[in-house]
Amino acid sequence: MVRKNYSSGAKWEDIVGYSRAVQVGDFLEVTGTVAANEQGVVGKGDMYQQTFFALEKIAKVISEAGFSLEDVVRTRIFVTDIKRWEDVARAHSSFFKTIKPCTTLLEVKALIEPDYLVEIEASAIRSSKK
């Protein structure tokens, strides 16, 4: 099977040695995604806004790879404050309320930048019936 790497252009990709997403056949893995753009952190201090922004970034690369949100079978969500899980759930539900992928929500001590509150990964499998 052919492997295709998708890049975001982030400086970290070459420093760490990773890709924004990797597709092999009908399987797509999207790397940990945070609320950051060219100007820096988006939604500083706002767990909902950071989650929503990260999911928008994930949706974009999924679409770019020829998949859809309906193909997402798992998300993994890492947060720095589990007590704010309802903000995360509200944003996640905005994208996946009817799709209902497997989801894991974990509290971690810290993310790579102190202002990041949430990081999200996604796995998608394209249906052969499409």
Q: With a threshold of 0.75, does the pTM exceed it?
A: yes
The pLDDT of residue 117 is above 80: yes
All structural domains of the chain, each given as residue ranges with its CATH number in brackets, are 3-125 (3.30.1330.40)
Residue 6 scores a pLDDT above 80: yes
Q: Give φ, ψ of 94 to 5 degrees.
A: -60, -30
The model's pLDDT over 8-21, given as tens digits with 9 standing for 90+, comes to 887 778 888 888 99
Select the more confidently predicted residue: 58 or 17.
Answer: 58
